[in-house]
Amino acid sequence: MASDFITNWNNYPLAKSNVSSPVLAEDFSAQLSIGSPFIVRGNGRCYGDASLAPSVTSTLKFNRIIYFDDRKGIITCESGLLLTDILDVIMPRGWFLPVTPGTRFITVGGAVASDVHGKNHHKDGSFSQHVLSLKILTPKGDVIYCNASENSEYFWFTCGGMGLTGIILEVTFSLKKIETGYIRQVQIKSGGLDEVLDLFEQYGHYTYSVAWIDCLKTGSDFGRSILMLGEHATVPELNGARHAFPKKSSTLSVPFYFPSFVLNGLSVKAFNSVFYGKNYKKEMHSMATCESFFYPLDAILHWNRIYGKRGFVQYQFVIPKERGKEGVRNILNRISSKGWGSFLAVLKLFGTQQGPISFNMEGYTLALDIPINDKLFSFLDELDLMVKDYGGRIYLTKDARMKPEIFHSTYPNASNFVSFLNKVDPEKKIVSLLSRRLEIK
């Protein structure tokens, strides 16, 4: 077992951990029987401390496909398999992930434990809604199977349960049928926040929708945005001009951590102006590869290094639909007035949600990256209170600093979750920095 400093995607916090990397399911059982507390880690793509602890068990070597029915579109795989490796197998056979986050470099175990959402939550829900069965090694050492109807309490508290209910060993889930590896994309420029929120409603029939927001603009341009809509393209829509499944494109890499002065308000403003200016027409139609539509950031490996060694926070909250417009407007206003920029402010519309502990709820969600500075955390504490007042909550997989009282008062099933964890893990064998910080375990 190697002892090392590890950190997740946002480079904060840094944790000294003993990391083991089991290859077989029996190795996970052996880890449990040793008795010292640990947390399971996928590919470390969360933004915070959810998969950090003094002792960490990585699933990255536990990554085989066990079963793939390419007629029905059903796959079973070990939890450490990356979505990118699943896509390599399923796409040429005409299938796609039912739900995918903005990076394909996460494990399927991580997708379940965070109950991730994509650009289609308003239509297709979150990842858990497509899971047919989970095989879990419980903290007591039992192997159980569960889904929405069998062992359903275990299932629902595992989806979005941030790895605290046990080790997800295998995931069986259904796939989405596609004819091509392309997305028919529409980009609509909007002059302000109210307009883009209305556009989400107007174009709610599109399967995929997401808006990029320039969160540094104030005054009449406040909240200017590009709404991106998409549908999987059919073969006739390609007009014979392209091969149905394109080759993967090459990637660039950020070679080192940028010094902190590189990312100041001016450089963010310049980036945002270029991005917004690029969409010179009010509405643009184009054909995008799935890769560029779903994973634009994956084209630059290690892009997290541009925020410097001190790291950054991704602040993602959701506000229920009834108060969503007002809430997003006021919180964004507060952030814009600070001028602490973000290249990325991403707005999405969520539909209804089933899981009791999942982050997602019907409403609007905004995510933005902010480099860490001395005053940031007290400012975010203020924003947390605004989110709470609007009936919203903060995404655990993106969190590294929320106070426990905010978690317990904004997640309506927090106390049921804690009681469930006390029942299934009375000896507290599975704990993370997040579960300690938020007083969950």
Ligand X SMILES: Cc1cc2nc3c(=O)[nH]c(=O)nc-3n(C[C@H](O)[C@H](O)[C@H](O)COP(=O)(O)OP(=O)(O)OC[C@H]3O[C@@H](n4cnc5c(N)ncnc54)[C@H](O)[C@@H]3O)c2cc1C
Binding site for ligand X (CB under 6 A): 8-9, 39-46, 50-51, 59, 79, 101-103, 106-107, 109-110, 113-114, 116-118, 162-163, 167-168, 297, 397
Q: How far is CA 435 from CA 54, 163, 302, 311, 399, in A?
A: 13, 10, 27, 21, 11
Tokens 């795989």 belong to residue: 77
* Shorter beta-carbon distance to ligand X: residue 222 or 317: 317
- Residue pair 126/416 in contact (Cβ under 8 Å)? The answer is no
Shortest Å distance, C-beta 163 to ligand X: 2
Shortest Å distance, C-beta 100 to ligand X: 8
Tokens 């409603």 belong to residue: 201
Shortest Å distance, C-beta 115 to ligand X: 7
* SS3 (DSSP) at 240: coil
* SS3 (DSSP) at 317: strand
- Report the distance separating Cα 430 and Cα 287, nearest Å: 45
Count of other CB atoms within 10 angstroms of residue 204:
13
* Shorter beta-carbon distance to ligand X: residue 31 or 222: 31
* Shorter beta-carbon distance to ligand X: residue 62 or 276: 62
* Shorter beta-carbon distance to ligand X: residue 185 or 397: 397
Shortest Å distance, C-beta 133 to ligand X: 14
DSSP state of 249: P
Shortest Å distance, C-beta 242 to ligand X: 26
Which of 374, 362, 127 lies closest to 260 in space, CA to CA?
374
* SS3 (DSSP) at 335: helix
CB under 8 Å to 434, separation ≥6 — which residues? 48, 49, 50, 52, 162, 396, 399, 440
> DSSP per residue over 127-159, as a string?
GGGGEEEEEEE-TTS-EEEE-SSSSHHHHHHHT
Shortest Å distance, C-beta 426 to ligand X: 19
* Shorter beta-carbon distance to ligand X: residue 384 or 399: 399
* Shorter beta-carbon distance to ligand X: residue 168 or 357: 168
* Shorter beta-carbon distance to ligand X: residue 49 or 222: 49
* Shorter beta-carbon distance to ligand X: residue 9 or 173: 9
Shortest Å distance, C-beta 234 to ligand X: 25
CB under 8 Å to 344, separation ≥6 — which residues? 212, 297, 367, 368, 369
Query: What are 1's two structure tokens?
Result: 């077992």
Query: What are 206's two structure tokens?
Result: 């599109």
- Residue pair 354/370 in contact (Cβ under 8 Å)? The answer is no
* Shorter beta-carbon distance to ligand X: residue 217 or 435: 435
Shortest Å distance, C-beta 83 to ligand X: 9
Shortest Å distance, C-beta 235 to ligand X: 28
